[in-house]
Amino acid sequence: MATVALTAANFDEVTSKDGIVLVDFWASWCGPCVSFAPTYERSSEKHPEITFGKIDTEAEPALAQKFDIRSIPTIMAVRDGIVVFSQPGALPASALESLIEKVAELDMDEVREQLAAQRKAKDATAAARG
């Protein structure tokens, strides 16, 4: 599968579905981004069951800001609508494959429980502060 251009208009629709969505935050002037692009494209062809999205941070500054992107390229993994990984830096092909394997192996029920516990603790802290 070829990569998909993600925009503010289609981001939520694409990333809220079940399954894995990888997101590459990039810009045309970024040397590491341009160098990483063929690796990302090859991986998208190897894994047609995964959606490989690309966000041009120049064209979509609001999305970059929403996810606090401070360095590009940044790779983000979304599984079943939940961001489970985000890290700046171009990945070598082997590291990208390892990331895909780890995201696929996640127990999403456990991830949801952890998120709920974090929200509950955050809410309790906020309530204690008054």
Query: Residue type for 71, please?
Result: S
Domain of 9, in residue numbers: 4-128
pTM of the entire structure? 0.90
Tokens of 50: 């995964």
pLDDT tens-digit series, residues 40-81: 999 999 999 999 999 999 999 999 999 999 999 999 999 999
Which CATH number does the domain housing residue 112 bear? 3.40.30.10
The total number of structural domains that make up the chain: 1
Element (H, E) at 3: none
Indicate which residues carry an active-site annotation.
Answer: 30, 33
What is the C-alpha to C-alpha distance for residues 26 and 72, in angstroms, rounded to an integer? Answer: 6
Q: Give the per-residue pLDDT at 122.
A: 87
The alpha carbon of residue 87 and the mean position of all alpha carbons in its chain are separated, in whole angstroms, by: 9
